[in-house]
Amino acid sequence: MKEHLRRIINTLAFRILIPVFAIVFLLGFSVYIFVLRSVSGFADEHIKENIADMSGDIYRICDKSLNDLLMESASGDKKLVRLKKGFTIDEIESYMTANDLKGGIIENGKERLRIGDFTQEFLQKIEDTEEHTASTFKYAGEKYYAAHSHFEPWGWHIILLKDAGDYSGLLRRVNSSYAVTAVILLTSAFLFLYLLNIYIRKPVSAIIAPIRKGEKPEYKGIYEFEFLSGSIRDVMERDEQLKEQLFQAQKLEAIGTLAGGVAHDFNNMLQGILGYAAYLKMKVPADDPMYEPLSVIEHSAERAADLTKKLLGFARKGKYIIEPLNLNDIAENVTAITARTFDRKIKTEMTLAPDLWTIEGDRSQLEHVILNLCLNSRDAMPEGGILSIETFNTEITKETKPRRYMKEGKYAAIKVLDTGTGMDEETQKRIFEPFFTTRKWAKARAWDCQWHMGL
């Protein structure tokens, strides 16, 4: 369960979404509170001003009525004053109704007008506030804005009340706006999730899934992920090559060790043959019929010994005579042999760099390598062709090195080219394998390439 939870928490979607949601929510909520308070505050001030203005309007209605009486010289006529008060109360009632106001008029303690149902104590509380100034009061669980004034000539106390609920439309509009915003935000969040899924999670999964199975990712699509997929694929390919090379090296080492052991023993045996062949040759005159066979035995034994030396060289890797030498000399020596021994249909060409760098190596081994390569070329050109040997200076950098195990640096190079049948890809891969050959009739040659590798 814990592991499951940990996996959920560590998913890409969770790590991105939770902060996004948290920020949006906090931001939205803060702005909501701020706007709501601002709107409420503004509305509150505006409503209070409005109520105070209306209180002033009602005072002016009373004032005008009294002035009318004065102008008609009727302010002393009790009957006319009664009538005027009655009409004034009606005018005030109409004004209050038109403006959704509640409250009333109290004349010397006697109620003359009442709109709404309020207790005397509540109305008394309003009377304690400053005249023509709006305040807020709570009555029966409802909020009211209230203002009051006195019209002294008639002993009137006028109280105005406005239900705060009448202004709830304003706050409802703010709330509606926020509801719409919340819907937009939620929709955006889901859209974001959808895009995240399509453009990030799916490509990442497409890269990760084959890697988990040990396969190389082959993602095609968004450039950045395609690049990442390609890079991972390259790294995996190099890893495979390295493993293959390590395996090859181990295989060769095992074979080398075996071959070295065999060669060592075989060489010891050959020393006996060589020794006795030489001893017998000394015992028989040169014209003796046995002399020639003994020479053949001795010569064959020498060749066998030479072969064992090569095997030992392959097995021991570098137990050769190392000396400074020029590859041009090697090329010239080998060409001297091939020119005399190869079929005339094969033309030998040589291009030698005059300023070729001096290298360190075993002269005879190198000559043997080049000679063997020339022999392979000859075999590849049964109908004749051109065999060319070229020497040149070169520099191997990180970018240009053909094989990973090669060190970067300056190299003197020798190139053997022929116009023969060439090698297919499969052959190219296997040329350094021991005993590999494309010719059944010349297995001896098969050692050559492995040997070159040993060199």
Shortest distance (Å) from residue 73 CB to other proteins: 16
Nearest approach, Cβ of residue 175 and other proteins (Å)? 24
Nearer to other proteins, 31 or 83 (CB): 83
> With CB under 8 A as the contact rule, which of the stretches 94-102, 294-302, 348-356, 370-378 interacts with other proteins?
94-102
Strand order in the sheet with 135-139: 110-115, 102-107, 156-163, 142-151, 135-139
Which 389-418 residues touch other proteins, going by CB under 8 A?
Answer: none
Interior angle at CA 304, CA 251 and CA 387, nearest 5: 75
- From 15-23, 85-93, 128-136, 193-201, span contacting other proteins (CB under 8 A): 85-93
8 Å CB contact between 225 and 203: yes
Half-sphere exposure of 174 (CA within 13 A, CB side): 16
Site membership for other proteins, residue 72 (CB under 8 A): no
Mapped onto helix, strand or coil, the DSSP state of residue 111 is strand
**89 counts as binding other proteins under rule CB under 8 A:** yes
> Which residues have a Cβ under 8 Å from the Cβ of 33 and sit 6 or more positions away?
none
Number of residues that bind other proteins (CB under 8 A): 11
Among 18, 70, 83, 198, binds other proteins (CB under 8 A): 83
Please select the residue that binds other proteins; options are 19, 56, 86, 275, rule is CB under 8 A. Answer: 86
> How many Å apart are CA 453 and CA 279, to the nearest integer?
38
Please tell me the distance from the alpha carbon of residue 397 to that of residue 400, in angstroms, as a whole number: 5
Q: Which stretch binds other proteins (CB under 8 A): 76-84, 267-275, 340-348, 371-379?
A: 76-84
Nearer of residues 2 and 79 to other proteins, judged by Cβ: 79
Given 94, 119, 120, 295, the residue binding other proteins (CB under 8 A): 94
Structure-token match 């392959």, residue found: 314
User: Interface residues for other proteins in 100-139 (CB under 8 A)?
Assistant: 112
By CB under 8 A, residue 85 contacts other proteins: yes
CB nearer other proteins, residue 78 or residue 398: 78
What element of type H or E holds 169? Answer: helix 168-196
Q: Is 79 an interacting residue with respect to other proteins (CB under 8 A)? A: yes
Distance separating alpha carbons of residues 142 and 146, to the nearest angstrom:
12
Strand, coil or helix: 173: helix
| Cα 224–Cα 225–Cα 228 angle in degrees, nearest 5 | 90
Residue 82: CB atoms within 10 Å: 9
According to CB under 8 A, which one of 82, 340, 344, 403 is a site residue for other proteins? 82
| Chain positions contacting other proteins, by CB under 8 A | 79, 82-83, 85-86, 89-90, 94, 97-98, 112
